[in-house]
Structure 1
Amino acid sequence: MSILIRNGYVLYGENLEVVKADVLIEGNRIVEVKKGINEGADTVIDATGRVVSPGFVNLHTHSPMGLLRGLADDLPLMEWLEKHIWPREAKLTREHIKVGAYLGALEMIKTGTTTFLDMYFQMDAVAEATLEAGLRGYLSYGMIDLGDPERTEKEIKEALREMKAIEGLNSERVHFVFGPHAPYTCSLALLKEVRKLADEHGKLITIHVAETMAELGKIQERYGKSPVVLLDEIGFFGSDVIIAHGVWLDSRDVSILARNGVTVAHNPASNMKLASGVMPLQRLLNAGVNVGLGTDGSASNNNLDMVEEMKLAALLHKVHNLDPTVADARTVFKMATVNGAKALRLNAGVIKPGYLADLVIFDFNRPHLRPIHDIVSHIVYSANGNDVETTIVDGKVLMLDREVLTLDEEKILNRAEEVARELS
């Protein structure tokens, strides 16, 4: 199968050079980007007045949590979790979670996300929905043992079961990731075993780290050190580790993350909504840490719109640092694309021959996106996910002219409402 995208403004290469060009896709790869490509293609898309952009990589989310969107807002993190989210999650069945995964996949396709790193449970169900939707999914089972040795063994068995089930799908788009929830919910025995298993099976690891001051206090009281120092001392870190949040990091923590090649997934909307704090973005970038962007779950965001997340990231760090030059549009755009792809060891996030054909097309024929002075700036500061018109993943069109081709949108929305009633 081949796709030819004609006459668009293309964000080309690592430097996001804006070129008026055609893009030719064969199979799942970009093969040519230039003006006036004359080759035939199975699908031809006219991108006149439109922008061809790399697809977005959501580096931290809990996609089935869309079912809990708006359930409990304006609360501190632990109260939100313990009194509202965890009790409701205890009622979730595998079928419920799969409905939530379909809802999340639908939202991501419609807002330009092509790849996501997920953490939840019953991830084999999420994998099935992801496969059908056509997205790239890196899926982790959230392991929590609370220091109980029996539960440690149980969580490891469940993670390995999930890994086997997901690998059994035999898909290049859907991958298993080890996902211990956080240092304050996982024993050192579990964390050490995860490190060993990740090395043994060649898998990535994702984990929540230093999200709140309360978490920092718990780890300090229990171990006498920061979560980052703790994980470093047990040999947990490596370039295969992606930590979510990284809000409460001191200079020593930043240095440790840089030395180990750890990626940090920044979640500005969730961090602001839960009043968790502001991650030290500029210090991380200055230290050479790879920083990606994520939405967190849509129960704490409350959406999965990566385009909106870019604007929030840019604005948050400008006002926090009282410096309008911090978190400029291109830096934030790269966080949402190539930096996330790098963390996942994925040859994507860039429009260039040889890269995976994970692209989105923005409709710039809209009042809030004209006149066109700076396309990257417009996407970060003026656009939102609903301006995405077409989504292509792995060389396949998932959405064309705002119509999702891989999922039944009406059926998913109706079923999500039914599940919400069942959980109430």
Structure 2
Amino acid sequence: MLLSKLLIEGATVVTMDAENHVYAPGDIICEDERLVYVGPSQQRLAWQPDRVIRGEGKVALPGFINAHTHAAMTLLRSYADDLALKPWLEEKIWPLEARLTPEAVYWGTLLACLEMLEAGVTTFADMYFYSEETAQAVTESGLRADLAPGLTGTTPDADKRLAAAADFVRRRQRSAAGRITARLGPHAPYTCPRPFLSDVVAAAKELGCGIHIHLAETSAEVQELQAQTGFTPVGLLHEILGREGPVPVLAAHCVHLSGQDMAYLKADGIGVAHNPGSNLKLASGLAPLAALLEAGVKVGLGTDGAASNNNLDVLEEARLAALLPKLATGDPAAVPARAALRSATLGGAEALGLESRIGSLEEGKQADLVLLDEGRAHLVPRHDVISRVVYSARAGDVDTVLVAGRILLEHGRPTTLDRAKILSEAQKQAEKLVG
């Protein structure tokens, strides 16, 4: 449902802008796809909206951004749990992924879109296979997505796959009315040897796009690459970027970093997708989030795939992002609630290079936003709104979601997706995979 003039009236509006404005009560006006007013509630005698949403008892926030996931891995949720990354990948996930079909990826992605929509996620960054089917699911859902066809350089057809991925980027960049952006997705330095990774970076530069890559996820990965090449994963990418030319990079995980690595991330303008839930579940380690933020690195939050998390709830990631550094550093203020919420919104937009369009509620930006219902016992009393969102709110509190001014979730119910059909078809596809 796209309304040309929509007024959200009387909500507690958390803008996440540079001045950290919170308006209580506040109003939001959307015209077509954009925000044209965000500020204190005021009387309007001459202006008539097409629709008014009463915001009393609601918190309005920028839509949450899932900066790293593998959407169709919803089909593998709960299939291979309680394993470290290497055996999880090599013994369980990769053999099953070899059996994936385009139809499976389509329905698995629709399931992910439904789950993220119900959790207030309006944008996600995906790296996976059968990207055309992923794009089709995104188009139907109404969500915004940054899509990267997954690439490895260790197979005989690696160059052919790179050419196909480049073609996908050309065709899908700014598709779905501008809601889809595209980049190349080299999996990681340990699956993309140095010459192939150089080719990917060179191709991205030629295409004018970025890359999405896993970096420094485990200590074993770092040690093995250093033994083979003399570089850390971040150091190797820095060397390639310096030689092939700068391209935008979205780097997932970045758990095991040296001070020099963090300096490279900052110098190269690399956006980091921090995945605390997945890192915990796979025992990959505690990423130095406080140090990354202190160094001025762009940091967003990701869930990773639902096979290693096991959900796509960015609010949960924000809570972990705030809590884990307190334990790791012994400092309860290491990553305060506001910094964690920023990583779930504007920080994610910065990591994706989309901060001029999304990530905060500011006039001129896209009307991507979420309304949380404050009428829940765990959100009362209403003291600091940022603390309540980060430390108390849940995905089930999401009431309304808009993307580009279109209502995709209303009173907790999707308007663009057939929930029952998606759940049924995704179950069938999952059973085919594991059967």
Range into which the TM-score falls when normalised by the shorter chain = over 0.9
Deviations 1:324-364 (A, max 9, x none): 11110000111110111122222211112111110000000
Say which is worse superposed, 93-102 or 163-172, in terms of deviation.
163-172
CA contact (8 A) 2:139 2:176 kept: no
Q: Distance in 2 between matches of 1:274 and 1:168?
A: 34
2:252 to 244, 248, 254: 244
Unaligned runs of 5+ in 1: none
Q: Does 1:71 align with 2:79?
A: yes
Q: Following superposition of structure 1 onto structure 2, how do residues 344-363 of structure 1 map, counting pairs within 5 Å?
A: 344-346=352-354, 347-363=357-373
Partner of 1:32: 37
1:320 matched to 2:325: no
How far the C-alpha of 1:168 sits from its partner, in A, is 8.9
Mapped contact 2:6–2:49 kept (Cα < 8 A): yes
Q: What is the CA deviation profile of residues 82-133 of structure 1, one whole-angstrom value per residue up to 9, with x for unaligned ones?
A: 1111111111100000000000000111001011110001011000100110
* Aligned match of 1:7: 10
Q: Which moved more, 1:152-161 or 1:234-243?
A: 234-243
In 2 relative to 1, CA 10–170 (structure 1 residues): closer, same or farther, beyond 3 Å? closer
Look up the equivalent residue of 1:310 and give its one-letter code: A
1:203 is aligned to 2:213: no
Q: Which amino acid is the alignment partner of residue 193 of structure 1?
A: D
Give how far 1:43 is off.
2.5
Task: Pick closer, same or farther for the CA change 1:315–1:336 going to 2, 3 Å.
Answer: same
Give the secondary structure class of the aligned counterpart of 1:171: helix
Amino acid in structure 2 at the alignment position of 1:151: D
Larger deviation, residues 43-52 vs 228-237: 228-237
Equivalent residue in structure 2 for 1:404, among 406, 410, 414: 414
Note the 1:254-333 alignment, pairs <5 A.
254-333=262-341
Contact residue 294 and residue 309 of structure 1 kept, 8 A: yes
How has the CA–CA distance of structure 1 residues 107 and 170 changed in structure 2, closer, same or farther, with 3 Å as cutoff? closer
On the 8 A contact 1:140/1:178 being kept in 2, the answer is yes
Matched AA of 2:373: D
Identity among equivalent pairs (%): 44
| Distance 1:37-1:52 versus aligned 2 partners, 3 A rule | farther
Deviations 1:379-422 (A, max 9, x none): 10001111110000011000010010000000000111111221
Counterpart Cα distance in 2 of 1:4 and 1:44: 5
Answer yes or no: is the 8 Å Cα contact 2:401–2:407 preserved in 1.
yes
- Distance change >3 Å, CA 165–CA 95, structure 1 → 2: farther
Quick one: which of 230, 240, 244 aligns to 1:224? 230
* Contact 1:77/1:276 (8 A) holds in 2: yes
Q: Using a 3 Å threshold, how does the CA distance of structure 1 residues 168 and 45 change in structure 2: closer, same or farther?
A: closer
Aligned length: 422
User: Residues of 1 paired with 2:257 and 2:59: CA distance?
Assistant: 37
**Cα distance in 1 for residues equivalent to 2:70 and 2:207:** 23
Q: Report if aligned partners of 1:5, 1:47 keep a CA contact under 8 Å in 2.
A: yes
1:187, distance to aligned residue in structure 2 (A): 1.9
* 2:190 counterpart of 1:184: yes
Q: Which amino acid aligns with 1:23?
A: I
Q: Is the 8 A contact 1:143 1:155 kept in 2?
A: yes
Matches within 5 A, 1:39-78: 39-78=47-86
Aligned-residue CA RMSD in angstroms?
1.5
Greater Cα offset, 128-137 or 279-288: 279-288
Instruction: After superposition, give the CA deviation of every residue in 1:142-162 in whole Å (9 maximum; x if it has no partner).
Output: 10022x5x4331221221232
Q: Tell me, in whole angstroms, the C-alpha distance in 2 between the residues paired with 1:163 and 1:198.
A: 9
Q: Which stretch of structure 1 is more off in the superposition, 152-161 or 311-320?
A: 152-161
**Compared with structure 1, are the counterparts of its residues 186 and 86 closer, same or farther at alpha carbon in structure 2 (3 Å cutoff)?**
same
Corresponding position of 1:387: 397
Cα deviation code 1:69-90 (max 9, x no counterpart): 0001110111111111111111
**1:133 matches 2:133:** no
Asked if the contact 1:390/1:400 (under 8 Å) is kept, the reply is yes
Secondary structure at the aligned position of 2:227 is classed as helix
Matched to 1:16, the amino acid is N
Contact 2:70–2:305 (CA under 8 A) maintained in structure 1: yes
Whole-angstrom CA distance in 2 between matches of 1:263 and 1:345: 8
Report how far residue 205 of structure 1 moved. Answer: 1.2
**Residues 388, 37 of structure 1: alpha-carbon distance in 2 compared, 3 angstrom cutoff:** farther
- The TM-score with structure 1 as length reference comes to 0.96
CA distance in 2, matches of 1:279, 1:404: 35
Amino acid in the other structure paired with 1:269:
G
